[in-house]
């Protein structure tokens, strides 16, 4: 179910991106293009949040509750890296 929701959102974003490409090709007003790009970025952030939530509720919980300390460390380090990269963007 969550996967279907994510795919649906990504396809919608894909459609918006095609619209922005068309706007650029047609030399639409720059501010209008920027607003559309900002909307796409916000939508991508939402998708990223959905995927992260799913990951936290499945993979991370499984690793944290598991017996393998190396796997726990790996998953927690991975989450830290994701947040670190998001701050660089």
Torsion sign over Cα 32, 34, 35, 41:
positive
For residue 71, the model assigns a pLDDT of 87
Answer CATH for 2-88 from 1.10.10.60, 1.20.58.1000, 3.30.960.10, 1.10.3210.10: 1.20.58.1000
Q: Where are the domains of the chain?
A: 2-88
Q: Residue 89's pLDDT is what?
A: 65
Q: How many CA atoms within 13 Å lie on the side-chain side of 1?
A: 0
Tokens found for residue 80: 């830290």
- Which residues touch 24 (CB under 8 Å, ≥6 apart)? 33
Tokens matching residue 61:
């919980």
Per-residue pLDDT at 41: 96
> What does the pLDDT read at residue 1?
58
Q: What is the pLDDT of residue 64?
A: 84
Q: Which parts of the chain have pLDDT scores under 50?
A: none
Contacts of 82 (CB under 8 A, 6+ apart): 52
């Amino acid at each position: 179910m969550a996967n279907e929701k994510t795919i649906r959102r990504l396809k919608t974003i894909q459609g918006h991106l095609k619209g922005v490409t068309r706007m650029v090709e047609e030399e639409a007003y720059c501010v209008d293009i920027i607003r559309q790009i900002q909307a796409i970025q916000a939508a991508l952030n939402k998708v990223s949040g959905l995927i992260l939530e799913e990951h936290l509720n499945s993979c991370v919980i499984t690793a944290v509750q598991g017996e393998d300390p190396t796997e726990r460390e790996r998953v927690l380090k991975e989450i830290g890296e994701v947040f670190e990269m998001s701050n660089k963007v």
